[in-house]
Homo-oligomer: A and B are copies of this chain.
Amino acid sequence: MEELDAVGPWEVFAWWTQHFPADGWAVTTFSVEGAPVTCEKTLVIQPHHSTATAPRLDVFLHPGGDGTRGMLDDPDHLQWLREQRQHVPLMTNVCTGSTVFAAAGLLHDRPATTNRTALDQLTRLDETIIVKPGQQYVDDGDIITAAGISAGIDMALHIVGRLTTTERARQVRDGIEYHPEPPH
């Protein structure tokens, strides 16, 4: 996975749940076997769980990265994703995580986005997908997709707002000092 795809949303959710425990949410991470994940840019992250020991999820987040290419024709991973879809109320992804959702058929007839370099691939995987370029994330109710890498931060703050209140999302925004000054 791409490092910030996962750690951006992680920071948002973890800051929120640590500072507002009374909201009643918790966040965790997992990999298929529970083994350390060597990320796209070589950083190694040790998740908390394997898929087998992960708790029941209310929100699922699938990061992207070049490693998703191999998942597009991995029947086990795609089948596992379809099973998640059956019992997780809110399925979300960041960046090229969308292409894996598309390959699993989860984005059929739905609006979605992905990394700017993979927008065409979305429709090649499933021509019924309504691609939405130029948005940081696309909220389609029970599925939310985000654009590339840092867009996961925007999506995560949006999710905090959806699960609680916009005021809470603002508090988390201020807590992580997300008052961005990109080069212009």
Contacts and interface: CB of A to CB of B under 8 A. Distances in A.
Contacts of A42: 14, 48
Copies of this chain held together in the complex: 2
Size category, A interface: 35 or more
15 contacts: A3-B11, A3-B14, A4-B10, A4-B11, A7-B8, A7-B11, A14-B42, A29-B43, A44-B45, A44-B46, A150-B180, A154-B180, A154-B182, A158-B183, A178-B180
Contact of A179 (B18, B157, B182): B182
A182 B181 CA distance: 11
A154 B153 CA distance: 14
Nearest to A5: B11
Contacts of A174: 116
A56 interface: no
Interface in A75-104: 95
Contact of A149 (B3, B43, B177): B177
